[in-house]
Amino acid sequence: MERKEFLSLVGVSVGAIILQSCLSGCSNSSDPTPTNNNNGNTGGTGGTGGTTTGLTGNNTISKGAINFTLDLTSTSFADLKTDGKAIVTGDVIVARTKAGNYIAVAKACTHQGTTVDFQADNNRFNCSNHGSNFDLTGKVINGPAASPLTQFSTSFDSAKNTLKVS
């Protein structure tokens, strides 16, 4: 074997070894298998809009007139037994003011639809998206929202511990 031929063979062998080393070192065979965290969860049903325990009636504007009753003994609506608290059900935010009065308005800010928050200390509903504020009747205090939140009437039945919103 001549020197040139020998060096050529060695070069090919060394190159093959380096290539094999790189391929095995670069492979992901030692990487942990990605974990599937969905645990068989298919993403849920997205809510059916009418199965909340303690709610009877319609709380969805697209389904017709708002007209529902909340059972305040239900854990879903327990917050409404406390002054200054609020709950959202369907398209409506129902609040109990610090004075103990029940109020209800459409939850969607009339600017771009963000769900408003009840701020009991300020007696208002606030939209955190662009800062609109609405009073307890849904009237605009400051924009950018230009239209009021739809107000619904409330009627509390102390004997049954239920709140009707319509």
Binding site for ligand FES (CB under 6 A): 109, 111-112, 114, 127, 129-132, 144-145
In this complex, which beta carbon is closest to ligand FES, that of residue 95 or of residue 109? 109
Nearest-approach distance from CB 46 to ligand FES, in angstroms: 22
In this complex, which beta carbon is closest to ligand FES, that of residue 107 or of residue 164? 107
Answer for the pair 95, 103: CB distance below 8 angstroms, yes or no. Answer: yes
Would you call the peptide bond into 144 cis, given omega within 30 degrees of 0 as the criterion?
yes
In this complex, which beta carbon is closest to ligand FES, that of residue 125 or of residue 152? 125
Nearest-approach distance from CB 80 to ligand FES, in angstroms: 24
Task: Please provide residue 106's backbone torsions phi and psi, each rounded to the nearest 5 degrees.
Answer: -65, 140
3-state secondary structure of 126: strand
